[in-house]
Amino acid sequence: MSQGTFWYWRKLLRIDEPVSEEYLKEFKSPLVIFRPLFYLLVYILCKLYFRVKVFGIENIPKNQPYILAPNHQSALDQTMVSYAIGRKRREDLYTLATKLFYDRPVANIFIKIATNALRIDTVEDFFPALRAAAKVLKLKSSVYINPEGTRSETGQLLPFRVGVGVLAVETGAPIVPVYVDGTFRSMPPGRYFPKPVQITVTFGKPIYMDGYFKKKENEMAYDVYKEVTDELFKRVSLLKVGNKDI
Amino acid sequence: MAEIEQEIKEMVAKIIKVDERMIKPDANIFIEYGVDSLLGVEILAGLDKKFGLDIPEEKLKEIKTLNDIIRIAKETISKKA
């Protein structure tokens, strides 16, 4: 009975509807004029204050859209990953920002300078954000999503939410597991000024969706999305313990 | 209608992977059985597939208990009739 339900998810995500190229402009705030200056400051801080190290940047797929899926333990995370991927990839990246962050006036200005932000309501209604992210991927741009849904209060990984699996399987975009280390020690939730702690950003090998397409024809779609999400959790956990060849 | 209620109960049990006899009609299935709220989508998909009920996605927020699911299904059936 419950087999092969992906068609319903696709209907909810409106994944087969055409998308105008103009769509991406909705997420490019006029504040982007400050982005070069912002990242110049970030560059100086990353080099001198955080002594950021980046591993596995070659794992980011070329010439195709992808989903960056890092752990989340600090307000610094998104900026550190954006710094690590470089200017060109950064400009083509769209970040799902939780409404708790997006709806605060100062944070809203900050996030619109730092990235092309898509507001997500992880508690009440996440479908509009998933729909928006799917459209972004269809237009060959990439998406940044925190699979934990919120910042970890302890520095330990929280369970991953299945939305990232839905997005990947239904758009075919590979997921790049990312582990950001040091940001929790530098600026955990509740702290507003970062300590000078070394930060590392490690990109794992992408998880491609080819192997999952057939499964979703015959299995309950949720189970396939969950399997992808569980695999991502496993990969990020391995990156966390220092296994950089994942 | 009792037959439909039983079929819905069986379907929900299969989706949330809980023994049908364990499902209390008024228990919040997501809290009581630790089920991901995204499985609500599978329940709507099941109602569509099994009974041809095209239930608007806004109803997802109303799905908490087995009785909610049965009520929504019955409302949609009577609208269809």
Per-residue model confidence as pLDDT tens digits over B36-74: 989 999 999 999 999 999 998 889 889 999 999 999 999
**pTM for the structure as a whole:** 0.92
The amino acid at A176: V
What integer pLDDT is reported at residue B57 of this predicted model? Answer: 87
Quick one: A193 exposed, middle or buried, by C-beta within 10 A (0-12, 13-18, 19+)? exposed
Contacts of A173 (CB under 8 A, 6+ apart): A64, A65, A66, A67, A137, A142, A143, A167, A209
**B61 in contact with A at a CB cutoff of 8 Å?**
yes
pLDDT in tens, A1-29: 445 789 999 999 999 999 999 999 999 99
pLDDT above 60: residue A88: yes
User: A54 - beta bridge partners?
Assistant: A201
Interface test with B, best of A216, A222, A224, A226 (most B CBs within 10 A): A222
> How far off is chain B from A90, nearest CA to CA, in Å?
30
CA–CA gap between residue A189 and residue A73 (Å, rounded): 7
Nearest of A134, A127, A202 to residue A169 by alpha carbon: A134
Contact between A146 and A70 under an 8 Å Cβ cutoff? The reply is: yes
Distances (CA, A) of B9 to A68, B13, B47: 39, 6, 11
The number of folded domains in chain B is: 1
Edge-first strand listing for the sheet containing A67-70: A53-55, A200-203, A175-181, A67-70, A142-144, A93-98, A116-120
pLDDT above 50: residue A146: yes
Residue B61: which domain range?
2-80
Residues of A in contact with B44 (CB under 8 A): 8
What integer pLDDT is reported at residue A2 of this predicted model? Answer: 42
Reported as a pLDDT band with limits 50, 70 and 90, residue A214 is confident
pLDDT in tens, A124-137: 677 888 999 999 99
**B44 in contact with A at a CB cutoff of 8 Å?**
yes
Instruction: Give the pair of three-digit tokens for residue A175.
Output: 């997921």
What integer pLDDT is reported at residue A124 of this predicted model? Answer: 67
Reported as a pLDDT band with limits 50, 70 and 90, residue B31 is very high
What integer pLDDT is reported at residue A101 of this predicted model? Answer: 76
pLDDT in tens, A162-203: 999 999 999 999 999 999 999 999 999 989 899 999 999 999
The whole-number average pLDDT for the span A198-217 is 94
pLDDT in tens, A24-54: 999 999 999 999 999 999 999 999 999 999 9
What integer pLDDT is reported at residue A1 of this predicted model? Answer: 44
The helix/strand/coil state of A142 is: strand
The helix/strand/coil state of A125 is: strand
- Name which residue leads in pLDDT, B3 or A203: A203
Helix (H) or strand (E) holding A143: strand A142-144
**B17 in contact with A at a CB cutoff of 8 Å?**
no
Residues of A in contact with B39 (CB under 8 A): 222
Exposure letters B25-37 (e unless 16+ CB within 10 A, then b): eeeebbebbebbb
Nearest of B50, B70, B72 to residue B6 by alpha carbon: B70
- CB contact under 8 Å between B42 and A12, yes or no, is no
CATH number at residue B73: 1.10.1200.10
ipTM: 0.89
What integer pLDDT is reported at residue A245 of this predicted model? Answer: 72
pLDDT above 60: residue A147: yes
